[in-house]
Amino acid sequence: MTLRTILLAVLWTATLQPSTACAGESFESTVSGTQEALPAGYVPPMISNGSLCTLIDYQGEQRQRDYAKMTPAIWWAGRRYGPGPGHDQMVPFGHFEQEVSVAGNVHEAPTSWTQTLNTRDAVVTCRNDYGDGLTVETVAFTHLSHDLIVVKKRLFAKSPKAGSARLTFQYRFTNPGNDNVLPRRMICSSERQEDPQGVDLRYQVDGYRPFEGVISAFSDRPVTATIDRQVVSLSAEIALDAERPAELTFYLLFADSIDGNDYLDRAARLKSRVREEGFDGMLASHRQEWGKYWDESYVQIPDERLEKAYCTAQYHLRANATRWSFPVGIFPTHWAGKYFGWDEMFCYQALISSNHRDIARRCPEFRFAGLPKALYRASHYGKPGIYGARFPWESLEDGTEGTPPGFWMEHVFHMSNIALSAWFQYLYTDDKNYLEKTGYPVVRECARFFFANMVYESADGGMFIGKCTDLERLGPARQNPFMTSCGAIYTLEAAAEASALLKTDEAEAARWAHAAAKLRESLPYEGDRYVPYAGCQEESVASLGGLFPYPLFDKTNERQRNAVYHFVANGKASGNMYPVGKSVCAWYAGWMAAALAALGDRTEPVKLLGKAAEGAGCFGEMFEINEPKVAMHPWFSTASGNVVYAMNQMLVQSRNDTVLIAPAVPEAWKDYSFQLACHGNLAAEVAVQGGRLARLTLRPGDANIETERTLVLNEGLLDGVPLNKSVVSNVTRQDGQCRVAVRFKGTVDLVTAAK
């Protein structure tokens, strides 16, 4: 065996096995089965770069089979049909299948199979054993930096009788299903290519925006290419050797005019790079790009199942991040990949609190780009600057209306989520230029919308929110609903605070602050707790709205505290967005856990997140609802966002210049660590060992600015722990907590080595 062969074998093994640091940890999920028997609730793992998104089944292909109403296919963010609200569906970009035969015998179903999703590397691997004669291994990924799907096959002879095999990789540029028909409103031509060997498909689409493009299907070794209308087959005869497995890599490369009219040049350059670097080079650069994402934060906790669900959710948030913002999913089943001002905020909060600042800012920047259309909708016949902006419930990529008919079109509470995202970006980054140019214009117009359209004044000078749709199951018209009111208050107060920072719109800001104060006074309550609306007879997670999504209150507000614990005790039957199911769905569990974490509860948040993890799919993925009789929308980004954000809030919280360290961590956790973001352009890295603080490193984004913070920790964490006296100016203890005042410039370690 040559040195090159040995090196290639080592590299291949590395693609099938996790790195040593990840082995046996939370970045891997593996499932297995026999023949076509699938584990309960199996849905194929997703590979995506936020542009191309697809599912890879257990045989390393995309056989057309329904999984929780999802059929494996390739979808491309921003490519959709039109025109008109509710009709802007995604354009399908086909799927791929394989055929493997030995001595003319086609292997349909494997005798046994194993499939693994490695979320750190964003790679799916499969191993399929076909009787006693053949094993086929697959490695597949969607390159994070390129619109390129990579599928490597490795064939082993398990029997001396298996002298050769025929492998066919089939790309079907069709609608989902088995019909050989081009997707609608499309024309296409095909042309064989010699270097590398494959086929180019050039197409034109009469879409929402007419566009054209090219898809290249090719291999890294000689193949026979055949074309049958919309089906491209790349076939190879392979000599099998038990000591030397055969390897082939297939590529699907996409480029189109939506990304620029130079798409043919871009496709040619990428194809040249693939030919030059090969599978190993493309995998290395893919891993490198994902490594940058993972290096920005981490969480390690003594709960293996929950940590795995958290890591899968973090993977999902990045894989779902389009260049515009964060849809519920890049699938037609997930509301056609449109952008909900409501749901995207939950993804945003998870990303920004995880220190993924550059990815997170896509959300407020997307809303700023869509601001002219939102202003036009609210103020077309009025004077600009009076009625504010009204963003659609569902937006297309250009900010236009994408909502199908229904009373959800009358929602207004998503306006608060849009404002929150724009304001949070400033709170976490301390970027005043961003605030002035991008964030404040969005927050201001959301505040103007509420003030002009939703805030009513009573005869006694009180103020309240007019009738509107709060959460859908509460009905289409409720006066002064709690959650919508909390969102309006948060928006008005954020706008007033931003106005003061920028020294602009002072007169308006005074009116916003006054209205917010009056709205606080009018929040609906009964007895000693807030309620979804006056006279409400049912339970709703909306009653948690003053803690999450909108951080209006802290643990000292008794009405909000009582509302939270009332819903935790009584709200199981109302634990879904819709009146179906019998348990609490994952994104409601995250919602409740985040609210309880804000109260400093050290018992219930981890229980709720544990329930979310128990309801995760085979690869740790979150569903909108996942029960034995109700399974809806796997790979549901809203739930991933809430689970990540709630966990982050258990570990670290920011309150102005105060940072709470481990405020909602269970007392039973004695060993854990994390690196997460805090407000004010700051990251905190914390390690706890044996129940005591072993490390607390603060990393400001600007090393030249002197920073002051007050850290709040449970007293036991500091028991006998020596602190860095050069930066700690004061330590006080009260009610089992320590308040540590620090002043520092540049990165600083607060825990010093004991003498």
Q: Kindly report the backbone phi and psi dihedral angles of residue 3, in degrees, each rounded to the nearest multiple of 5, phi listed first.
A: -60, -40
Written in H, E and C, the secondary structure of 367-423 is HHHCHHHHHHHHHCCCCCCCCCCCCCCEECCCCCECCCCCHHHHCCCHHHHHHHHHH
Nearest C-alpha neighbor of 141 from the set 120, 155, 122, 154:
122
CB-CB contact of 400 with 392 (8 Å): yes
pLDDT of residue 678: 98
Q: Tell me the pLDDT tens digit for each residue of 58-75.
A: 999 999 999 999 999 999
Reduce the DSSP state of residue 540 to 3 states and report it: coil
User: pLDDT tier at 78 (50, 70, 90 boundaries)?
Assistant: very high
What percentage of the chain carries pLDDT values higher than 90? 83
Q: Kindly report the backbone phi and psi dihedral angles of residue 697, in degrees, each rounded to the nearest multiple of 5, phi listed first.
A: -110, 130
- Two tokens at 194? 């010699």
Q: Which residue in this structure is represented by tokens 């025109």? A: 83
pLDDT of residue 628: 84
Please state the rounded mean pLDDT for residues 627-641. 93
Report the distance separating Cα 137 and Cα 153, nearest Å: 6
- Two tokens at 255? 């480029």
Q: Tell me the pLDDT tens digit for each residue of 195-207.
A: 888 999 999 999 9
pLDDT of residue 417: 98
Is the pLDDT at 15 greater than 70? The verdict is: no
Q: Tell me the pLDDT tens digit for each residue of 692-744.
A: 999 999 999 999 999 999 999 999 999 999 999 999 999 999 999 999 999 99
User: pLDDT tier at 551 (50, 70, 90 boundaries)?
Assistant: very high
Report the chain's mean pLDDT, rounded to a whole number.
92
pLDDT of residue 108: 86
Please state the rounded mean pLDDT for residues 362-385. 89
pLDDT of residue 234: 97
Q: Strand 706-714 relative to strand 658-661: parallel, antiparallel, unpaired?
A: parallel
Nearest C-alpha neighbor of 314 from the set 281, 347, 344:
347
Is the pLDDT at 137 greater than 60? The verdict is: yes
Is the pLDDT at 79 greater than 60? The verdict is: yes
Report the distance separating Cα 386 and Cα 449, nearest Å: 8
Is the pLDDT at 87 greater than 70? The verdict is: no
Q: Tell me the pLDDT tens digit for each residue of 578-599.
A: 777 778 899 999 999 999 999 9
User: pLDDT tier at 272 (50, 70, 90 boundaries)?
Assistant: very high
Q: Is 381 exposed, middle or buried (0-12, 13-18, 19+ CB in 10 A)?
A: exposed
Q: Where are the beta strands (DSSP E) in 418-498?
A: 455-457, 463-465
Q: Tell me the pLDDT tens digit for each residue of 16-61.
A: 333 323 334 789 999 999 988 899 999 999 999 999 999 999 999 9
CB-CB contact of 162 with 240 (8 Å): yes
Domains of the chain plus CATH, in order, are 3-295 (2.70.98.40), 361-536 (1.50.10.10), 660-749 (2.60.40.1180)
Q: Kindly report the backbone phi and psi dihedral angles of residue 637, in degrees, each rounded to the nearest multiple of 5, phi listed first.
A: -65, -30
Is the pLDDT at 387 greater than 60? The verdict is: yes
CB-CB contact of 512 with 493 (8 Å): yes
Q: Tell me the pLDDT tens digit for each residue of 284-327.
A: 999 999 999 999 999 999 999 999 999 999 999 999 999 999 99
Is the pLDDT at 13 greater than 50? The verdict is: no
Please state the rounded mean pLDDT for residues 153-167. 83
pLDDT of residue 541: 94
Is the pLDDT at 567 greater than 90? The verdict is: yes
Q: Is 708 exposed, middle or buried (0-12, 13-18, 19+ CB in 10 A)?
A: exposed
Is the pLDDT at 84 greater than 90? The verdict is: no
pLDDT of residue 17: 35
pLDDT of residue 71: 97
Give kind and range of the element (H or E) at residue 155: strand 148-157
Nearest C-alpha neighbor of 346 from the set 585, 529, 539:
585
Please state the rounded mean pLDDT for residues 142-171. 91
CB-CB contact of 482 with 548 (8 Å): no
